[in-house]
């Protein structure tokens, strides 16, 4: 089978690998779609934390189930995806219902080889039914689940202002599920075209360019002087994360979906007087995946509008670097495999 491996930062190589053989407790998927996410782009750049090379990237996946063991309810030939965070099942996090932050976490395409290949073996317990969705839709369940989990962590209530920082795919999904939860979404980004996308495609009423000199004043005006009671970072930018503490309302919750390598720095007195809550949001749980799939089936969210670029698997090596260029206007690139 064909495999595309990120050998070192900035270097991809195609090769022929052996098709995986069915083993106990696993399933084999014939890959049909690969969504390109920030993790893949950062890995290519050499800026992804907790990463080693060489690595086969790809964890936003959809495909056809061709073989399986210990997967009751599934059928050969059906369209599937899977939860790409492989957990141990026995650590304190897993025993506490938090397999998304397992102490022995193995993320597909990060810690172990991912789906930039014609076939992939995954644990049967991770499988997800396609529920009649298209391959494009199924491949985009995972990034939406990241946002849905962050919104659930924040405990968004109807009517409260939710500031989402970063209008990339994860941020867009976060905005969607904040809206579904009843929040009044404010999008903050440095890219005017992405902010316009939020208005046009997601019907986000309030957008603010983070490079403006009066961001705080704009947020004050939008929120009637209160400031946002929920802030969710989806940038992974240290500057953006540190800067957003000042935007918190008194009693606000600040959730970090984005990840970076540095140390956070903020005024303790300012944070303390607000009795602020700071949380991380890592990966997602099956509950979040099921919420996303149900929302997609009800047409509450249509992530296919995020797809701005398409490429066949054989051309990924030539196109990948271009997707890092903001001038290309990439929101979501989708890889197709026949």
- Is position 285 within any domain? no
Residue 233 and residue 210 share a domain: yes
Residue 202 and residue 114 share a domain: no
Structure tokens at 243: 């800067």
Residue 315 and residue 268 share a domain: no
Which residues in 24-116 belong to E strands, given as ranges? Answer: 26-36, 60-68, 79-82, 85-86, 106-107
Q: What is the CATH number of the domain that holds 38?
A: 3.90.180.10
Q: How many helices (H) and strands (E) does the chain have?
A: 11, 17
pLDDT in tens, 106-122: 999 999 999 999 999 99
Instruction: Give the residue among 295, 278, 257, 241 at the shortest CA–CA distance from 100.
Output: 257
- Is position 294 within any domain? no
Q: How far apart are CA 19 and CA 6, in angstroms?
A: 19
Residue 108 and residue 11 share a domain: yes
Mean residue pLDDT across the chain: 96
For 120, the domain range is 2-139+302-336
Q: What are phi and psi of 62, to 5 degrees?
A: -140, 145
Tally of CA atoms within 13 A in the half-sphere of 11 that contains its CB: 5
The conformation of residue 91, written as its DSSP 8-state character, comes to S
Q: Interhelix angle for 141-154 vs 286-297, to 10°?
A: 110
Q: How confident is the model at residue 327 (pLDDT cuts 50, 70, 90)?
A: confident
- Is position 297 within any domain? no
Task: Check residue 204 and give its pLDDT.
Answer: 97
- Is position 188 within any domain? yes
- Is position 75 within any domain? yes
Task: Check residue 63 and give its pLDDT.
Answer: 98
| Mean pLDDT within 196-205 | 95
Number of domains making up the chain: 2
- Is position 328 within any domain? yes
Q: Is the dihedral of CA 202, 203, 205, 209 positive or negative?
A: positive
Say whether pLDDT at 38 is over 90: no
pLDDT in tens, 266-298: 999 999 999 999 999 999 999 999 999 999 999
Task: Check residue 135 and give its pLDDT.
Answer: 98
Q: Kindly report the pTM of this predicted structure.
A: 0.94
Residue 123 and residue 37 share a domain: yes
Residue 116 and residue 23 share a domain: yes
Q: How confident is the model at residue 256 (pLDDT cuts 50, 70, 90)?
A: very high
Task: Check residue 262 and give its pLDDT.
Answer: 86
Which residue has 């976490």 as its token pair? 105
Q: What is the CATH number of the domain that holds 155?
A: 3.40.50.720
The better pLDDT of the pair 42, 285 is held by: 285
Residue 165 and residue 150 share a domain: yes
Instruction: Give the residue among 274, 337, 266 at the shortest CA–CA distance from 32.
Output: 337
């Amino acid at each position: 089978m064909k495999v595309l491996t990120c050998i070192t930062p900035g270097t991809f190589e195609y090769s022929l690998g052996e098709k995986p053989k069915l083993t106990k407790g696993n399933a084999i998927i014939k890959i049909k779609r690969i969504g390109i996410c920030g993790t893949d782009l950062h890995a290519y750049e050499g800026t992804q934390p907790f990463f080693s090379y060489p690595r086969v990237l790809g964890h936003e996946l959809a495909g056809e189930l061709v073989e399986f063991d210990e997967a009751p309810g599934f059928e050969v030939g059906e369209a599937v995806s899977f939860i790409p965070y492989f957990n141990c099942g026995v650590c304190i996090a897993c025993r506490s219902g938090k397999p998304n932050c397992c102490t022995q976490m193995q993320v597909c395409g990060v810690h172990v080889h991912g789906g930039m290949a014609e076939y992939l073996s995954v644990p049967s317990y991770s499988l997800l039914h396609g529920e009649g969705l298209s391959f494009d839709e199924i491949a985009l369940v995972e990034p939406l689940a990241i946002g849905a989990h962050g919104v659930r962590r924040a405990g968004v209530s109807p009517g409260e202002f939710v500031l989402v920082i970063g209008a990339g795919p994860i941020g867009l999904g976060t905005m969607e599920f904040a809206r579904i939860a009843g929040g009044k979404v404010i999008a903050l980004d440095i890219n005017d075209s992405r902010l316009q996308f939020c208005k046009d495609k997601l019907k986000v009423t309030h957008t603010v360019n983070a490079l403006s000199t009066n961001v705080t004043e704009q947020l004050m005006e939008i929120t009637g002087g209160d400031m946002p009671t929920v802030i969710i970072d989806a940038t992974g930018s240290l500057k953006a994360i540190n800067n957003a503490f000042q935007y918190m309302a008194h009693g606000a919750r600040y959730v970090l979906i984005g990840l970076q390598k540095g140390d956070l720095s903020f005024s303790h007195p300012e944070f303390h007087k607000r009795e602020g809550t700071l949380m991380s949001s890592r990966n997602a749980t099956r509950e979040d995946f099921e919420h996303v799939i149900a929302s997609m089936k009800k047409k509450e969210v249509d992530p296919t509008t995020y797809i701005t670029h398409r490429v066949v698997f054989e051309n990924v090596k030539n196109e990948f670097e271009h997707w890092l260029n903001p001038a290309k206007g990439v929101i979501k690139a989708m890889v197709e495999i026949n």
